Amino acid sequence: MQTLFVELGERRYPIFIGHTLDASSLLAPYIKAKQVMIVTNTTVAALYLEKYTLQFEQLGKSVATCILPDGEKYKDFGHLHLIFDALLQAGFNRDCTIVALGGGVIGDMAGYAAASFQRGVNFIQIPTTLLSQVDSSVGGKTGINHPLGKNMIGAFKQPEAVIADMAVLDTLPPRELSAGMAEVIKYALLCDAEFLLWLEQNMSKLMAGDADLLAQAVYRCCAHKARIVANDETEKGERALLNLGHTFGHAIESYLGYGTWLHGEAVATGMVMAAELSARQGWIDTVDVQRIQQIILAANLPIVSPAIPLEQFLNYMSHDKKVLDGQLRLILLKQLGKAVITNEFDQNALIAAIQAHQQAA
């Protein structure tokens, strides 16, 4: 097992990364509360709830559970309310701990519940998808969707600890593994060119579920995220780089309807569009764009979006949270392994980059 820390002063917390980890002993110092509420969904509950309930009971905790339906479409106010119902019905108070057991949907919802229940209670992340292990469980962004926009309601709420156990990835559907791999590739492109080479050498084994290699990849991604979050917890600057490919990806997701393409699939194609625009700006070479496409294809991810009317695509992009004073800012590549946030790009090059990676209408 390896341990990393997110260095946030008094709110410093560990990320434990390994295989078949014992939550009981690892979390003992981080759960002072007697009352533990495990928030999960129907799919993950069937696989792992009993195991984790037993581990918390071994710690002498009184464990209650809240099992939500599975899906991004339930990441809403109504289902957040079910977590509060469960907490109140179980008679939990301010010194309880909420445990998020699941992927990014559960982590974001349970975290937001922890940020707001009785003005804030402790919480623990046990991420069970690759995406949540390398990204959403670390850094404290929590929240729910609003009918008018994804992740529009939320709070920064750091966990007390994160446990990323490779054993749970055994049951992850291949399409979800690929979606998580998009976020892994993202770290390589934005800040770690050596990691890109490593991914190129190891992608087939990673996609076959090699647990040692997956643990190495999760560690490297979490190390980058921990550093970036420690520097810029509330996204005043550097943290926005973690959104490489996301503005393009959100346009694809919004047009298709959330859930048609997985988030990671949309981010993958979005990263190709961002790379294409970077090349058209003269910052990277076309061979770099081809290299990015190859690694994305090797992770069984798409490099071309369905045909989307340009006006609609640009309109969805303009709703991005990074828009400042009405100006669209994008994360682009100055070189492989070096991303920047910038509004200095040519509008015609942007349009050409989008159109170059769309199916013909």
Q: Which residues are annotated as a binding site for Zn(2+)?
A: 183, 246, 263
Q: What is the 3-state secondary structure (H, E, C) of 187-242?
A: HHHHHCHHHHHHHHHHHHHHHCCCHHHHHHHHHHHHHHHHHHHHHCCCCCCHHHHH
Site residues for ligand NAD, 81-140, by CB under 6 A, read: 102-106, 108, 128-129, 131-132, 135-136, 139
Q: Are 104 and 136 in contact (CB under 8 A)?
A: yes
Options 14, 111, 139, 180; binder of ligand GLY; rule CB under 6 A? 139
Nearest to 39 by CA among 114, 115, 89, 93: 114
Q: Is 68 helix (H, G, I), strand (E, B) or coil?
A: strand
Residues in the chain: 361
Options 141, 224, 250, 263; binder of ligand GLY; rule CB under 6 A? 141
Q: Kindly state the tokens that stand for 38.
A: 């495990």
Q: How far is CA 311 from the centre of its chain?
A: 28
Smaller CB separation from ligand GLY, 151 or 202: 151
Smaller CB separation from ligand NAD, 284 or 339: 339
Smaller CB separation from ligand NAD, 269 or 281: 269
Q: Report DSSP state, residue 28.
A: G
Q: Which does 103 bind (CB under 5 to 8 A by kind): ligand NAD, ligand GLY, none?
A: ligand NAD
Q: Kindly state the tokens that stand for 18.
A: 């390994």
The annotation places the binding site for NAD(+) at 70-75, 104-108, 128-129, 141, 150
Q: According to the binding rule CB under 6 A, does residue 242 interact with ligand GLY?
A: yes
Smaller CB separation from ligand GLY, 184 or 308: 184
Please report how close the Cβ of residue 302 comes to ligand GLY at its closest, in angstroms: 20
d(CA 301, CA 178): 6
Helices (H) and strands (E) in the chain, counts: 14, 11
Q: According to the binding rule CB under 6 A, does residue 159 interact with ligand NAD?
A: no
205 flagged as catalytic: no
Q: Are 60 and 85 in contact (CB under 8 A)?
A: no
d(CA 31, CA 10): 16
Given the residues 141, 186, 329, 357, the one annotated as active site: 141
Q: In 38-53, which positions are buried (b, 16+ CB within 10 angstroms) versus exposed (e)?
A: bbbbebbbeebbeebb
Options 239, 263, 291, 357; binder of ligand GLY; rule CB under 6 A? 239
Q: Which residue is nearest to ligand GLY (CB)?
A: 242
Given the residues 79, 250, 280, 357, the one annotated as active site: 250
263 flagged as catalytic: yes
Total number of residues that touch ligand NAD (CB under 6 A):
28
Please report how close the Cβ of residue 286 comes to ligand NAD at its closest, in angstroms: 29
Q: Kindly state the tokens that stand for 260.
A: 């048609």
Total number of residues that touch ligand GLY (CB under 6 A):
5
Given the residues 160, 176, 183, 265, the one annotated as active site: 183
233 flagged as catalytic: no
Instruction: Report CA-CA distances (Å) from 48 to 44, 52, 104, 127, 316.
Output: 6, 6, 16, 11, 38
Options 21, 44, 132, 135; binder of ligand GLY; rule CB under 6 A? 135
C-beta atoms surrounding 285 within 10 Å: 13
Options 160, 165, 176, 192; binder of ligand NAD; rule CB under 6 A? 176
Contact residues toward ligand NAD (CB under 6 A) are: 41, 43-44, 47, 70, 72, 75, 102-106, 108, 128-129, 131-132, 135-136, 139, 141, 151, 168, 171-172, 176, 179, 263
Contact residues toward ligand GLY (CB under 6 A) are: 135, 139, 141, 239, 242
Question: Which residues carry out catalysis?
Answer: 119, 141, 183, 225, 235, 239, 243, 246, 250, 263
